[in-house]
Amino acid sequence: MSIIQNITQMKNQIARAAEKAGRDVNDIRLIAVSKTVNAARVQEAVDAGICDLGENRVQELMDKYPLVEGARWHLIGHLQTNKVKYIVGKVALVHSLDRWSLALELDKRAREAGVVIPVLVQVNVAGEETKFGLAVPEVRDFVTEAAALTGISIEGLMTIAPLVENPEEVRPVFRELKRISEGLKDIPGVRMEQLSMGMSNDFAVAIEEGATMIRIGTAIFGSRK
Ligand SMILES: *Cc1c(COP(=O)(O)O)cnc(C)c1O
């Protein structure tokens, strides 16, 4: 299938999942994950109505940034502190704030540039050793302290669920992220309106559990080599 057909099908599936959950489809943002996809194909997706693109590596984002027109960029992968300087002013949202040193660097670079960088705090809900993200018990203190940094604005949480065959298996992971976010809404200066969760294999379940952003690569661009 073509990218355009994939996007049409994806939008239909998002609408169906939203309806099933009794949610407004406009509250769910589709982020097309364009890692490993060349700029021409990414532009095809944007021309077909994609407004948000996600990359997990800074270098790749930087390479495509000047070549693709008409979309917002999201940094969804692990971010090295020495790369922060390259993305300030280019990225609409950093989904992967996962440690204090990164919070400080984002804050510093943002203030130097006179901007505020919107971020999501990445939580390793399932406690997988191979994944980045804060452990669940660390989240509240982290968010409380990060909320005092004026260069970043905390918009919500992000998680990557374990890769499973049946997406029902990760429903508790999504439900837990939502529960954690509800419990943080009393912290002053924190918005907690966004939940970035759900990928090609599990987005429908994530939407049912409250995702406001889903990150879709394979189902739009095909499988990566
Ligand atoms: C690659 C990636 C995705 C998209 O994965 P698909 O299974 O191809 O939809 C989503 N989120 C992150 C953080 C990724 O690195």
Query: How many domains, the chain?
Result: 1
CA distances from 37 to 111, 171, 220 (A): 33, 29, 11
What pLDDT does 102 receive?
98
- The answer, yes or no, to whether any atom of ligand 1 lies below 6 A from the CB of 160, is yes
What pLDDT does 126 receive?
96
**CA 84, CA 105: separation in Å to the nearest integer?**
7
User: Which of 29, 30, 74, 76 maximizes ligand 1 atoms within 8 Å of its Cβ, making it the mutation to test the pocket?
Assistant: 76
Atom of ligand 1 nearest to the CA of 215: 10
Can you give the residue range of the structural domain that contains 132?
3-221
Query: Who contacts 209 (Cβ-Cβ below 8 Å, separation ≥6)?
Result: 171, 174, 175, 177, 178, 197
- The answer, yes or no, to whether any atom of ligand 1 lies below 6 A from the CB of 118, is no
To which residue do tokens 């993200």 refer?
133
CATH classification at residue 195: 3.20.20.10
**CA 109, CA 224: separation in Å to the nearest integer?**
33
For residues 128 and 86, the answer to whether their CB atoms sit within 8 Å is no
- The answer, yes or no, to whether any atom of ligand 1 lies below 6 A from the CB of 32, is no
**CA 197, CA 174: separation in Å to the nearest integer?**
7
Mapping DSSP to helix (H, G, I), strand (E, B) and coil, where does residue 206 land?
A: helix
What pLDDT does 225 receive?
81
Report pTM: 0.97
Grouped pLDDT means (10 residues each) for the chain, 225 residues = 96 98 98 98 98 98 98 98 97 98 98 98 96 97 97 98 97 98 95 97 98 98 93
What pLDDT does 189 receive?
87
- The answer, yes or no, to whether any atom of ligand 1 lies below 6 A from the CB of 131, is no
What pLDDT does 211 receive?
98
Residue 80 CA from chain centroid, whole number:
17
- The answer, yes or no, to whether any atom of ligand 1 lies below 6 A from the CB of 77, is yes
- Identify the residue whose C-alpha is closest to ligand 1 atom 11: 215
**CA 152, CA 118: separation in Å to the nearest integer?**
6
- The answer, yes or no, to whether any atom of ligand 1 lies below 6 A from the CB of 215, is yes
Distance 60 CA to ligand 1 centre (A): 15
